[in-house]
Amino acid sequence: MNRPLVAILSGAGVSTDSGIPDYRGPNGLWRKDPEAEKLVTYDYYMSDPEIRRRSWRMRRGNRTLRAEPNAAHLAVAELEKSGVPVRVITQNVDGLHQLAGMPARKVLELHGTARSVVCTKCHARGSMEDALTRVEAGEEDPPCLECGGILKSATVMFGQQLDPVVLGEALGIAKACTVFIAVGTSLQVQPAAGLAGVAADNGARLVIVNAEPTPYDERADEVVREPIGTALPRILTGLSDQES
């Protein structure tokens, strides 16, 4: 008999304990400062050098690259190490699941990663840290070293489509899993939110861990409003105990 597959859809709420703000929440940066949203909007970024310069300054002050995994990230990695088949589908770009010990091949980053840069012309990829070192050395809008094209964070900006290959893999996991845990996500941004419905439609046990109500609460087998840093480790320990 095949072992149950646990799918975890993680949103911004998983990383707030690591000091990374929720940009889209009620008090998020994009709600407070519409101008800030331009810095991560593809058309503005590509057409306005000043927007790019401001974006690079914002990245220099970004807490994401200095953040450390918290109890929630570590609990997910521990579940995987215990032998339970686990796949993470994340809306976050911070790479903290991998830093906590999840194998990179078992983490699907729906919105890309803030730890890399990509050229918009030749698609060459590089390290964000290396790009920021160039900014600190005086390059306000560092071009691609391969072709001179415009560099951007390897994240999905507003106005860009999700990678269809990554989304396809996420859909496959949602259909195949036996337990689907949506944690720290409002389940309001499609198509990621729809994965919860896909999992439920295919017979998975749906667990939602989030401070605020979501559109999928009525379909969930369990809704947890406790703080993620304590609730998720408890839930995942329970799954591990069932398997042992």
Closest CA to 179 of 211, 208, 152: 208
Q: What domains sit in the chain, N to C, each tagged with a CATH number?
A: 1-20+69-111+161-244 (3.40.50.1220), 23-62+113-155 (3.30.1600.10)
What does residue 125 show for φ and ψ, rounded to 5 degrees? -110, 155
Closest CA to 69 of 26, 117, 10: 10
Identity (one letter) of the amino acid at 126?
A: G
pLDDT tens sequence across 172-201: 999 999 999 999 999 998 899 999 999 999
From 73, 97, 111, 123, the catalytic residue: 111
Using an 8 Å Cβ cutoff, are 178 and 204 in contact? yes
3-state secondary structure of 129: helix
Low pLDDT (below 50) residues in the chain: 1
Note the pTM of the prediction, 2 decimals. 0.92
Alpha helices in 90-127 (DSSP H): 96-99
pLDDT tens sequence across 2-39: 568 999 999 999 999 999 877 655 555 555 666 788 89
Active site residue 97: no
How confident is the model at residue 27, as a pLDDT?
Answer: 53
